[in-house]
Amino acid sequence: MKRIVIKPFLFRLLRRVPMPLISIVVGVTAGLVVWAMLEQIQSRQVNKIFGQELEAQLDLRARESLIRFDRYLASYGATTRLLANYQRLSEYLEPLFWSREAAGTPLIYKEFRPYWLPDFFERDALSPPSHVLLTDTEGQVREIYQAGARPVPERLAVRVPSNLLDIRDVRTVIDRLGDQLYLIASDSMADAGGYEMGHLVVLVPVDDDFLAASQRGVDVGRAAVALVDGDDQRIVASLDTASLPPGTTLDRWHALYVVTSQTLPEYEGSDSNLLFATFVSQAAVEKMSRHVSIFERRQRGLAAAVFIIVFTAVIYLVSSRLNKVLKRMTRFSQRALGIAEPGFNHRGGNQLVLLEEWIQHFSQLVLAARDEMNRRHQAEMRESEALKAAMMEASLDAIVTLDHAGHVIEFNPAAERLLGHRRQDALGLVFVRECLPETAREGFSALLERSRRPDAGPQGRGELRARRADGEEVPVEISIAPIVLEAERFYTLYIHDITERKQAEQEIKGLARFASESPNPILRVTASGLLVYANNASRPLLTAWAAQPGDLLPEPWRAEVAQALAGVEQRECELEVAGQLFSLLFAPIADLGYVNIYARDITAVRRAEQESRQHQAELVHVCRLSTMGEVATGMAHELNQPLAAIVNYASGCTRRLQGGAGETEALIGAMGQITAQAQRASEIIRRLRALVGKQPPIRAQADLNHLVREVCSFVEFETRRLDLAIALALAPEPIPVRVDLVQVEQVLLNLVRNALDALEEVDAFTRHLGIRTWQEGDEARVAIRDTGPGIVPERIEALFDAFVTTKEGGMGMGLAISQTIIENHEGRIWAESAPGRGTTFFIALPLAVAEAEETAQQPSQVGNSNAS
């Protein structure tokens, strides 16, 4: 509640202020806050770190100074060892013997250096010792070298205490002797013979110079080093005597210096408690601390500035972006939502607030729109409910809705009719149990299962048997549509009675079996040549075409199908497949675009036809030839006898005459035999001629064209073998002749065969055989022309004489007989020939006197006689 009061006030304030201004104000404020916070945290932290660092530095420096000091002392030890083992010293000690009794005042070298003492210290840049003592093994001082005016300190003047000496090793000790600190370094010494003589003791005063020498190479500008007496805290020696005069206590300097002191722990032998102190001036430390804090502040300022700039820039960018968004939204709302004036101006004021207001406004609009839509939707729902109810009522299919448990929740009138339940009884029933026979339940649940699959499509459709209330079963088609409503699943079943359809299908199936049971191939092809059906009997055809139902027919057959469809009449053609001959009948079904192909295996029929034809032709051929052939063969044999006998007699005579053994009588007998045999031969030929001529003429009216055609059919086999077609040029009207059919056919046959024989001798492409018939005056004429090798003019003369032949196997009787026959018919036969171009035989026969009734009768008689 409180917020609502504050908010309008704040809003009114904020609305006036543009975003960039706010951003700068916020940025500056934030920057200052950051500055202050850093001041609190950071500077304190920096001072602390600085102090720690300083302490560590001082400690390090003090340590370093101490180590240098220690090293310096160690180098004194080493030099002392050198001196104690110096050769000249041992040589010097050789003759000496210090008796205990003779102990008196020691020998003192003053102002000059004894020859056993070399100047090692100066060489090694060490402070020179003030005194060097030689003691005996008891510590009794025997000889003293004194560098300056100062005598040996009292405590060591007579005897060196044993705590300052070591029997074997070098010993360095810092100790206060009198008012002066001394470094006392000692080592044992022996004479040249190795006899232990005592100790060599070096005394070096520890003063400012000593300290300076020990710290050589160290910058003392910032830090000073001093040795401090631990007991009274007084400075014993210092590097910078001017600022830190010895004798002053440490307390005095704490205000001016930062002091670090460390003990010299090694020199236990000494009585004094010495401290090694490092002094760093406070002023230097403060100066450094100031530097650090200035640097830190500068950094802090930079951070705050960067923060302000970045923050302001970001907010400024956001606001300009918001400006654009607002502009767009204004335009959008004006255009799309039809809000004429959203009630704000994006140019002045705070964009964020404007945006919020706009969004509030917009959401109100959306809410209003949603309410409107809801109202409309409910109205529609009501309408669709009404529509659905009407559809349910009016549907011819039974519609049943099941809930997920399979209970019926909707049952339309068609379902009442189909299933025999009343609606109020059916509601709540388990559909599977009440309306399906047991056999169908499995199928139904499979359908249900399929209908649930997400991929769309009529999966939930199938045919089942349903059970009516009275127990009768009816075939139905069920389509299941699952409906998912708020996680609950319903099923709507559309059930269609297909009793009639089933019956029709059965009938169609029965009809379809006609085709499949046919022993003859039956196929169906579409207009594009696609084979859609082929019954079992058509397997040989499919094999030949290499096609299966669903494939395209081979090209020529597709064309055939197209032609059949174009013609809309049945076409018939033949196909030979692996020795089987099929007759294919193409029956187009134009309105369906199909062609049915009914095939018939006509192999046997065709073969029988061909065989009978061939048989007949052969029979006729044999008949025609047999007379002539038999005569010729018999004649040949008969003629051979007398001819061979003649030759034998003649040869016998010749041989006898050659051999000179011939008796005249015997020879004459043989000659007589020759004559007799020659006569016998001519008698045979006469008999033969008589035989041909003697036959009583059987004359019948016939058409010469018909005779020619018949003869052509006799030689069909030969012409086919030669790949030759006889060119017939027959007179258009019948040419009546009255002849012995058999004899004239023999003549024609003979001439045609001669022509064929002649053609066999020339190249295949020049072969030509033509037969022409025509009427000329009162003569019927036939010309048989071949393009064979022809006959030379000399032989034409004798062509029709007996025994003249051009053929290797011929007897030369054919033409002679032919001539006889034709002359018997009062006709003529002659030949014309051009060698190399061919021969033409002509036959002229008298035309028959046309007798109306005879010509009418005769052809049928001719037909009969031919057939018999």
Partner 1 sequence: MHHDATVFVVDDDQAMRTSLQWLIESTGMSVQTFESADAFLANHYPGRAGCLLLDVRMPGMSGLELQSYLAREGYRLPVILITGHGDVSMAVKAMKAGAFDFIEKPFHDEDLLDSIRNALDYDERHRASQATRAQIAMRLAELTPREHEVMAMVTDGKSNKEIAAALGVSAKTVEAHRARVMEKMRAGSLAELVRMALIAAPESML
Closest to 272 (Cα-Cα) out of 234, 315, 230:
230
Q: How far apart are CA 27 and CA 22, in angstroms?
A: 8
Quick check: 649 and 621 in contact, CB under 8 A? no
Torsions phi, psi for 773 (to 5 deg): -125, 145
Task: Tell the smallest beta-carbon distance from residue 820 to partner 1 (Å).
Answer: 23
d(CA 597, CA 525): 8
Q: Based on the shown chain and the rule CB under 8 A, indicate whether residue 684 belongs to the binding site for partner 1.
A: no
Choosing from 641, 679, 682, 805, the residue that interacts with partner 1 (CB under 8 A) is 641
**Lookup: tokens for 456:** 């769309």
Tell me how far, at minimum, the Cβ of 827 lies from partner 1, in Å.
Answer: 32
Cα–Cα nearest to 48, from 320, 368, 292, 255: 292
- DSSP bridge partners of 198: 136, 189
CA distance 516 to 559: 26
Among 481, 544, 645, 685, interactor with partner 1 by CB under 8 A = 645
Told to check if 677 binds partner 1 by CB under 8 A, we report yes
The position carrying tokens 């074997």 is: 168
- Number of helices (H), then strands (E), in the chain: 22, 27
- Report in angstroms how near the CB of residue 660 gets to partner 1 at its nearest: 12
Among 265, 338, 457, 659, binds partner 1 (CB under 8 A): 659
* Residue 676 or 727 having the CB closest to partner 1: 676
Nearest CA to 703 among 776, 769, 782, 624? Answer: 782
Does residue number 642 form part of the binding site for partner 1 (CB under 8 A)?
yes
Closer to partner 1 by Cβ: residue 544 or 645? 645
Q: Write down the least CB distance from residue 642 to partner 1, Å.
A: 7
Binding segment for partner 1 (CB under 8 A), chosen from 428-436, 498-506, 670-678, 726-734, is 670-678
**What phi and psi values does residue 728 have, to the nearest 5 degrees?**
-95, 130
The interface region with partner 1, picked from 204-212, 519-527, 647-655, 854-862 by CB under 8 A, is: 647-655
Residue 551, φ and ψ in degrees, nearest 5: -95, 170
Q: How far is the CB of 805 from partner 1 (least distance, A)?
A: 13
Cβ distance to partner 1 smaller for residue 482 or 652: 652
Residue (52 or 641) nearer to partner 1, CB: 641
Q: How far is the CB of 673 from partner 1 (least distance, A)?
A: 7
Closest to partner 1 by CB, 263 vs 679, is: 679
Residue 734: closest CA among 848, 620, 866: 848
What is the SS3 assignment for 527? Answer: coil
Contact window for partner 1 (CB under 8 A) among 3-11, 581-589, 671-679, 795-803: 671-679
Round to whole Å and give the CA distance between 643 and 638.
9
Is position 636 an interface residue for partner 1 (rule: CB under 8 A)? yes
According to CB under 8 A, which one of 673, 713, 775, 861 is a site residue for partner 1?
Answer: 673
Task: Tell which one of 656, 699, 709, 828 touches partner 1 (CB under 8 A).
Answer: 656
**In a 3-state reduction of DSSP, which class is residue 846?**
strand
Contact between 646 and partner 1 by CB under 8 A: the answer reads yes
Cβ proximity to partner 1, 403 vs 638, nearer residue: 638
Of 151-210, which residues contact partner 1 (CB under 8 A)? none
Q: How many residues bind partner 1 (CB under 8 A)?
A: 24
Kindly tell me which of 116 and 649 has the beta carbon lying closer to partner 1: 649
Counting contacts by CB under 8 A, is residue 678 touching partner 1? no
If we measure between CA atoms, which residue out of 709, 773, 710, 699 comes closest to residue 739? 699
Return the residue of 648, 695, 719, 861 that touches partner 1, per CB under 8 A.
648
Site membership for partner 1, residue 652 (CB under 8 A): yes
Q: In whole angstroms, give the CA distance from residue 212 to residue 629.
A: 167
Q: Does 655 bind partner 1 (CB under 8 A)?
A: yes
Q: Of 441-449, 637-645, 738-746, 831-839, which part binds partner 1 (CB under 8 A)?
A: 637-645
Task: List phi, psi (to 5°) of 454.
Answer: -70, -30
DSSP assignment string, 761-822: TS-GGG--EEEEEEEETTEEEEEEEE-SS---HHHHHTTTSTT--SSSS--S-HHHHHHHHH
The answer to whether residue 668 forms part of the interface with partner 1 (CB under 8 A) is: no
Q: Does 637 bind partner 1 (CB under 8 A)?
A: yes
Quick check: 680 binds partner 1 (CB under 8 A)? yes
Least separation, in Å, of the C-beta of 636 and partner 1?
A: 5
| Cα 10 from Cα 352, distance rounded (Å) | 13
- Among residues 378, 626, 640, 675, which is the contact residue for partner 1, using CB under 8 A? 640
Distance CA 432, CA 204 (A): 125
| Position 257, amino acid | Y
Residue 676 lies near partner 1 (rule: CB under 8 A): yes
Q: CB 795 → partner 1: shortest distance, Å?
A: 23
Amino acid in the structure at residue 345: N
Nearer of residues 220 and 670 to partner 1, judged by Cβ: 670
User: Does 671 contact partner 1 by CB under 8 A?
Assistant: no
**Among candidates 15, 21, 7, 12, which has minimal Cα distance to 348?**
15
* Alpha carbon 415 to its chain's center: 54
Stretch that binds partner 1, among 95-103, 155-163, 595-603, 669-677 (CB under 8 A): 669-677
In 3D space, the residue among 810, 814, 824, 797 whose CA is nearest the CA of residue 690 turns out to be 824
The residue ranges that bind partner 1 (CB under 8 A) are 633, 636-637, 640-649, 651-652, 655-656, 659, 661, 670, 673, 676-677, 680
